Amino acid sequence: MQIGKVIGRVTATRKDERLVGTKLLIAQPIMLDGTLTGHPIIAVDTVGAGIGEQVIYVVGSMAARAMAYDGAPVDAAIVGTVDSLESEH
Footprint on this chain of a second copy (rule: CB under 8 A): 1-3, 7-16, 19, 24, 26, 29, 31-32, 36-43, 46-48, 51-52, 56, 58-66, 71-77, 79-89
CA angle 18, 57, 16 (to 5 degrees): 15
Quick one: three-class SS letters along 26-49? EEEEECCCCCECCCCEEEEECCCC
- Least distance in angstroms from the C-beta of 43 to a second copy: 7
- Least distance in angstroms from the C-beta of 26 to a second copy: 6
- Least distance in angstroms from the C-beta of 6 to a second copy: 9
Residue 50: CB atoms within 10 Å: 11
